[in-house]
Amino acid sequence: MTKRNLNIIYLAILFVFAILFLPNFALAQEHPNLILTKAGVEKIRAELGNVHLFDASLAALKKEVDTEIALGIETPIPKDYSGGYTHARHKKNWFLLQKAGVLYQILDDKKYAIYVRDMLMQYEKMYKTLPLHPKTRSYARGKLFWQCLNDANWLVYVSQAYDCIYNFLSKEERNRLETNLFRPFADHISVNSPQFYQRVHNHSTWGNAAVGMIGLVMNDQELIDRALYGIKDMNLDKTAKDDDGGFINKDGKAGFLANIEEPFSPDGYYNEGPYYQRYAMYPFLIFAVGLQNVRPDLKIFEYKDGVLLKSINALLNLSDADGDFFPLNDGQKGMSYYNSALISAVDISYYYGGHDSGLLSIAEKQGKVLLADSGLEVALAIKNGKAKPFDKKSINLTDGPEGKQGGVAILRKESIELVFKYAAQGSSHGHYDKLSYSLYDNGNEVLQDYGLARFVNIEQKGGGNYLKENKTWAKQSIAHNTLVQNETSHFQGKYEIGSKHHSDLYFYDDKDGEVQIASAKENNAYPGTEIHRTMAIIKNEKFEKPFLLDIMKINSDSENQYDLPFYFMGHVMKVNFEYESPAFSVLGEKNGYQHLYVEGKGKPSSEGTIVSWLGRNNFYTLTTATDTSDELLFTRLGANDPKFNLRRDAGFMIRRKNAKNTTFVSIIESHGSYSPVTESAVNSNSSISSLKLVHDDEHYTAVNISDVNGDEFMMIISNTDSNKTSPHKLQINGRDYQWSGPYHFK
């Protein structure tokens, strides 16, 4: 036999032994070993009292749990939707169980173990005979909660609690819990609810992690496999849809690994957007840590080229200067990296990733660490002065499992942040807003993305669930800063169509100190119409702050009406055109237009159009190269909103009728400031005196900018060749321009 063959035999024998003895070996596995480990707990106990951030986090937790222990255990019969009493109580319980478990391990005080045990036993007693939750709205009803999703949340946390008191319980107690509570619980949310469990979706990620986590504690290989790979031999109706209008399982993929594989791009961008990434992050990472501890052989953190850790970096980059996530697709504003899921994420990323000292500064701001091995290490590193600022730079994140379905570009310069979305549909939480953008100045919205239409967990508003205006307004194209053709949404607002397409990056370049630029094309939103949008953040010494240049070139095989809205945040200061304030009228009938009032209607002056507003104590000016035949509209959200589900936000819109090929060119400047305390208005006027489209054909689009001091700037885009080194030559108004690469600015 060759040496190679010997090796193979040797490996084969090893493999057989592994299969034979792994279960037995594993049966003897120690506890805790999921998030906390035995060794980690020892280290934590040794450091108690020495590491401020850790001690403070522990003290806060202890105070909370002690208060609740004093109040007693409550496990009411399930009854309410989100926001209602029984929902809130069981939600509180899952956190309390997990926290009490951690306290038992760290403080070695039996009262916490007893609390966990007693509550679990109450659940065991109730669950045995518990029917489906009485509320019927969900496509997959849970038992403790109205939807399986929340049952899965419960199990992800409670598995950790069980792990923490595993050794405290008698074998008989463990049997009771596993037989009457955990196993049937895991089955209900998986084999009994495949439409919830067997898909690629944040719901399923929770489901998979829940089943996997309890599987790891119970050392139940079947459950672990079900978690990693989905329910064996289960096939679902590929045309079925969930509550949000998304396909349940079009491709037949399922399981935790598929849920890593599919929604994350190689850059770590999560297809549903940052709000849902934040939500899915916790089960992704907590289960990954559990796997890392129990099944290090899986090398879960290296899976798909380390995408789980990359995704944390992507997610942090998808937040504004204050740490609030950009509300791409369905996203509730105000959700930020202060959310507890991000506390875990930051600590886990530091510990299992490259010990990036920038993460420590975020952990410092969060003011809390995970009470686990990773959290201790983070707190220690901060104590040792290792924290550095987390430096958010411009970044281009691809979308799609292979990074080939468009993406999101974030251009940053000084206080200005542009979020330019040219991604795929974003699953059932996606909005119909190809080539849309939002603009931020120092963490404040200058031009907003509306986000979702929902008051999450506020029972009074539709049970805390999605409101109907999420479909009638928030998802529609007109709710976004992008082009709308003939008052219809992209892809007719249909998920079946939208989910087949994505925009394409044309070029991206953030290497230049003066111009950071992203350019993308969308050819499917309106069949027969090609939209090419280029957005640049330009920093030039002639301007107080970096400004946004937006060039949107449209080629169509038909005549259309084009609407380009600007959802500015602030109070109108001044415009340069005449307009009427009509008796209040509603802008349209459907596709979101039915929610917009017309507050003003005018025609541009021959000089182009200027609108300035006062935002959060800063002045902003939109300068845009309009035609005198355009219509200019001031809009106000709130029409056909009898339940006050929408905010009464302002908008400005350019409407261009009977146009085929056309180009919109706009600049948005942030300038000056106003203080209501000093009452001084500084630099309250725009620095731009004119903005003109000076050349526009198939190959090139050129824009001339003049400032108030007579300085001139020219931006030329090559529309057909984005090669970085291609040489270009163009004559404009008798002057020759020569450059290489897809754009020229001077």
Q: Is 276 helix (H, G, I), strand (E, B) or coil?
A: helix
CA distances from 368 to 52, 53, 59, 373, 438 (A): 10, 6, 11, 14, 31
d(CA 224, CA 210): 10
Complex with its own copies: residue 388 or 648, whichever CB lies closer: 648
For 242, half-sphere exposure in the C-beta direction (CA atoms, 13 angstrom radius) is 28
Q: Which residues contact its own copies by CB under 8 A? A: 83, 88, 91, 332-336, 338-340, 455-461, 464, 571-574, 579-581, 584-585, 597, 599-600, 612, 614, 634, 636, 638-644, 647-648, 650, 674, 676-681, 684-685
Q: Are 609 and 576 in contact (CB under 8 A)?
A: yes
Q: Are 625 and 704 in contact (CB under 8 A)?
A: no
Q: Give yes or no: 133 in active site.
A: no
Q: Give yes or no: 502 in active site.
A: no
Complex with its own copies: residue 279 or 562, whichever CB lies closer: 279
Q: Is 228 helix (H, G, I), strand (E, B) or coil?
A: helix
For the four alpha carbons of 75, 179, 160 and 286, in that order, the dihedral sign comes to: negative
Both tokens of residue 191? 């084999």
Complex with its own copies: residue 91 or 475, whichever CB lies closer: 91
Q: In angstroms, give the least distance from the CB of 636 to its own copies.
A: 7
Q: In angstroms, give the least distance from the CB of 467 to its own copies.
A: 12
Q: In angstroms, give the least distance from the CB of 627 to its own copies.
A: 24
Complex with its own copies: residue 184 or 638, whichever CB lies closer: 638
CA 447 to chain centre: 18
Q: Which of 90, 429, 532, 671 is catalytic?
A: 429
Complex with its own copies: residue 361 or 457, whichever CB lies closer: 457
Q: Which of 81, 276, 674, 743 is catalytic?
A: 276
Q: In angstroms, give the least distance from the CB of 65 to its own copies.
A: 16
- Preceding omega of 76 cis (within 30 degrees of 0): no
d(CA 63, CA 584): 55
Q: Are 654 and 552 in contact (CB under 8 A)?
A: no
Q: In angstroms, give the least distance from the CB of 331 to its own copies.
A: 11
Complex with its own copies: residue 579 or 737, whichever CB lies closer: 579
Only one residue has tokens 């200019």, namely 632
For the chain, the maximum distance between any two Cα atoms, rounded to a whole number of angstroms, is 94
Q: In angstroms, give the least distance from the CB of 571 to its own copies.
A: 7
DSSP string, 424-464: B--GGG--S-TTEEEEEETTEEEE-----SB-TT-TTTGGG
Q: In angstroms, give the least distance from the CB of 167 to its own copies.
A: 32
The set of residues, in sequence order, having a beta carbon less than 8 Å from that of 638 and lying 6+ positions away, is 595, 597, 646, 647, 648
Q: Are 167 and 221 in contact (CB under 8 A)?
A: no
Complex with its own copies: residue 649 or 721, whichever CB lies closer: 649
The catalytic residues are 276, 429
